[in-house]
């Protein structure tokens, strides 16, 4: 029906009556998200996670909303929890890498890309971006090594060849 104001009002009333009801908070958080009220959705999903800290779906949703809002610490917290639960799920590592990149945390970003390569050796970006970081940090040998490893794993990805060529022409 898409009547989010009414939905939010009903869930809020249910929470006033019983503040410990997980389903009411989850419904409220979802209604806020669907209506585009992301700050309220984030806050409500944080409450959902407090009520049931072992539920994957609300934590994943909380992380996605935090990502849309550029709330990088919340994204990192959500991804770290998801990775503990399922360390071989590459998507959480990719989202974690994007949060580290946004925060300028180069060493953690390189670590996240290392995990992505371990899980998905064909991920050309997971070779390219750390190579670029190493070059930016003036560690050209590591940058070149990263590009070469990427070319070995994904020889069809032209950007790795281009970056390697640039390093040798400087």
Query: pLDDT tens, 120-167?
Result: 999 999 999 999 999 999 999 999 999 999 999 999 999 999 999 998
55-71 exposure pattern, b = at least 16 Cβ within 10 A, e = fewer: eeebbbbbbbbbbeeeb
Task: Tell me the mean pLDDT in the region 85-99.
Answer: 95
Predicted local confidence at residue 23, as pLDDT: 95
Predicted local confidence at residue 170, as pLDDT: 77
Which has the closest alpha carbon to 14: 34, 3, 29? 29
This prediction has a pTM of: 0.86
* Contact (Cβ atoms closer than 8 angstroms) between residue 8 and residue 32: yes
Separation of alpha carbons 132 and 113, rounded Å:
12
Task: Tell me the mean pLDDT in the region 27-48.
Answer: 96
* Contact (Cβ atoms closer than 8 angstroms) between residue 12 and residue 25: no
Predicted local confidence at residue 150, as pLDDT: 96
Confidence of residue 1 (pLDDT cuts 50, 70, 90): low
* Contact (Cβ atoms closer than 8 angstroms) between residue 143 and residue 149: no
Greater pLDDT, 96 or 169:
96
Domain spanning 1-69, CATH architecture: Alpha Horseshoe (1.25)
């Amino acid at each position: 029906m898409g009547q989010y104001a009414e939905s939010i009002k009903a869930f809020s009333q249910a929470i006033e009556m019983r503040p410990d009801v997980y389903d009411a908070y989850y419904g409220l958080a979802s209604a806020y998200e669907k209506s585009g009220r992301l700050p309220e959705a984030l806050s409500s999903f944080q409450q959902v996670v407090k009520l049931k800290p072992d539920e994957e779906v609300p934590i994943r949703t909380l992380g996605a909303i935090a990502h849309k809002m550029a709330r990088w610490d919340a994204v990192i917290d959500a991804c770290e929890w998801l990775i503990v639960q399922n360390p071989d799920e590459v998507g959480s590592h990719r989202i974690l890498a994007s949060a580290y990149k946004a925060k300028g945390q180069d060493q953690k970003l390189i670590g996240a890309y290392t995990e992505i390569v371990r899980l998905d050796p064909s991920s050309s970006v997971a070779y390219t971006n750390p190579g670029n970081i190493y070059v930016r940090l003036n560690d050209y040998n590591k940058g070149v090594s990263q590009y070469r490893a990427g070319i070995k794993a994904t020889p069809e990805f032209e950007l790795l060849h281009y970056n390697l060529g640039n390093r040798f022409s400087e």
